[in-house]
Amino acid sequence: MPPSFKGAITFGLVYIPIILNPAIKENDVSFNLLERNTMSRVRYIKTCVDCNSREVPQTDIVKGFQYEKDKYVVFEDADFEKIKSPKDKNITIGTFVDLSEVDPLYFDRAFYVEPAGGEKAFALLLSAMQKTGKAGIAKTVLGTKEALILLRAHDNKMLVSTLYFHDEIKRAPAPVEVSADEKELNLAISLLEHMTGKFAPQDYHDEYNDKLRKAIQAKIDGNEIAVPKEKSDGNIVNLMEALTKSLTQVKAAGS
């Protein structure tokens, strides 16, 4: 999806023009690929297989579907738009579900929803979802792919999340069939209870990213990267001992 997407939400006969804006930004550190000896940038060149590896400019590159060996039909951007129905271009809610029913495993990308007209209908839908705890399930076509969509209310804002289709979710590995010892289970439960708190996302920070930026600055300054030293608690192989010591440490930290 582009940085912002213009479309509409529809449910029943209600039509709400909207704009979607990404809710997530990337904070990754970017690296360029270099040739080790010359420190020259390495770039990827698109070449034509049957043209003596001649470089092909972007303007001459089209999308082709191979229907037989070495036979293609070409699709231009306009062709993809032609096959979209008005419904495909809208986020059409087909049903509402309890938000708690949706397994987080299905969540992909998140977007903020802004009304671009129909503000009263937008506020009404937002309020109704907020009071009922319901989420709208919809489908739409984004680019050249149909997307499963979930609309929900959060802190007086409307959010859209793209969802994976069920057939995109891989089969889970076989469950571990090991019975838990009652004493170990009680200790584990006690440990979990002592470690329980409120989820505060603002308390979590990408510490590795900070270390990476400091390492980059160290290299710029001509210094070696310092290897961090961490205290080791030793290798505890006995599960009961590990649980007991963990619980003791957590209780001490909380006192």
Residue 1 has pLDDT above 60, yes or no: no
Q: Does domain 5-27+82-168 have CATH number 3.40.50.800?
A: no
Within 10 Å of residue 225's Cβ, how many Cβ atoms?
Answer: 12
Q: How far is CA 14 from the centre of its chain?
A: 29
Q: What angle do CA 35, 36, 38 make, to 5 degrees?
A: 70
Confidence of residue 4 (pLDDT cuts 50, 70, 90): low
Model confidence pLDDT, tens digit, residues 79-107: 888 887 777 778 999 999 999 999 999 99
Confidence of residue 235 (pLDDT cuts 50, 70, 90): low
**From residue 4, how far is each of 53, 142, 145, 161 by CA, in Å?**
37, 12, 17, 14
Model confidence pLDDT, tens digit, residues 147-167: 899 999 999 999 999 999 999
Say if CB 43 and CB 34 are below 8 A apart: no
**From residue 35, how far is each of 10, 40, 45, 212, 221 by CA, in Å?**
52, 5, 15, 21, 22
Tell me the pTM: 0.76
List where CATH 2.40.290.10 sits in the chain. 5-27+82-168
Model confidence pLDDT, tens digit, residues 58-72: 889 999 999 999 899
Name the pairing type of β-strands 157-163 and 145-154: antiparallel
Distance between CA atoms of residues 22 and 5, nearest Å: 9
Q: Which of residues 108 and 239 earns the better pLDDT score?
A: 108
**Which pLDDT does position 6 carry in this prediction?**
85
**Which pLDDT does position 79 carry in this prediction?**
87
